[in-house]
Structure formats: structure tokens, C-alpha cells
């Protein structure tokens, strides 16, 4: 280890970090290309080819051209995942069955609007409470 100075170790670590960062960015952009719903198949194929054939230029141009929508797609995906997680927690807490109070409120609203007759309302209410 005497022939490898400490400064060279730092430079090696920096280059390794930048190499990993580059691949992370490259895979992140390729993932975003395929996740994008506002592009057709030819657009996705073109961007993918551009990023693979000329990686440095392709990544730079993609970030300049579509960087803002990339962040927006990330935010929307995170919000969808959060909503799905909260819904899963809610359904697991309810035991997977709808809340009776909510169902009764819906039935009463349908009855008040005239969509259900009084007889239909009573039957549905009886089934729900049984």
C-alpha cells in the first residue's frame, strides 16, 4: 500500500462515486422515458436510442427538454402510491368491509332523492343491518 498515496485513494473514490451516480442518472432517465404517458412509442424509442447511442449528450438534452415534467411525474407517482397505501390501511382497519354508517348514509341519500322507494330503502337497510 506504500505505492498508492492517500490522495490517489480519494481521487479513486471520487471517480467511483461519479461512475455510480452516472449509471443511477442514466437508469433513472430510461425509467422515466418508459413511464411517461404523454409520449408515443416512436418518441420513447427515439429518446431511448438517443440516450443509449450518445449517452452524455442524450441525458443532458433529456434533462433540459423534459426535466420539469420528469419531476411532475415523480410527484404524481408518489401521490398515487400514498393514496393506494392509505386506502389499503383504511380497508385493512375496516376488516375489508365497507363502513355501515357510510352505506346507511348513501341509502338515505338515495331515498331522499327519490332513487329508492321507501320499501326498497327499508329492505336495503334491513339487509345492511342484519
Q: Report yes or no: 20 and 5 within 8 Å, Cβ to Cβ.
A: no
pLDDT at position 64 is 93
In the block, residue with C-alpha cell 338515495:
110
Q: How many domains are there within the chain?
A: 1
Domain annotation covers residue 31: yes
pLDDT at position 82 is 94
pLDDT at position 83 is 93
Domain annotation covers residue 104: no
Domain annotation covers residue 36: yes
pLDDT along the chain (130 residues), means of 10: 80 95 93 90 94 92 91 91 90 69 85 86 85
pLDDT at position 1 is 56
Domain annotation covers residue 68: yes
Instruction: Quote the domain boundaries for residue 56.
Output: 6-97
pLDDT at position 67 is 87
Domain annotation covers residue 47: yes
Amino acid at each position: 500500500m506504500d505505492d498508492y498515496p492517500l490522495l490517489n485513494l480519494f481521487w479513486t473514490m471520487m471517480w467511483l462515486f461519479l461512475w455510480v451516480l452516472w449509471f443511477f442518472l442514466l437508469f433513472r432517465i430510461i425509467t422515466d422515458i418508459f413511464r411517461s404517458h404523454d409520449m408515443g412509442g416512436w418518441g420513447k424509442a427515439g429518446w431511448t436510442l438517443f440516450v443509449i447511442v450518445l449517452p452524455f449528450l442524450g441525458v443532458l438534452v433529456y434533462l433540459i427538454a423534459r426535466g420539469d415534467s420528469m419531476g411532475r411525474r415523480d410527484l404524481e407517482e408518489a401521490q398515487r402510491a400514498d393514496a393506494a397505501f392509505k386506502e389499503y390501511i383504511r380497508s385493512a382497519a375496516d376488516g375489508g368491509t365497507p363502513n355501515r354508517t357510510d352505506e346507511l348514509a348513501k341509502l338515505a341519500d338515495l331515498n331522499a332523492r327519490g332513487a329508492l322507494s321507501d320499501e326498497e330503502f327499508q329492505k336495503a337497510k334491513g339487509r345492511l343491518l342484519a
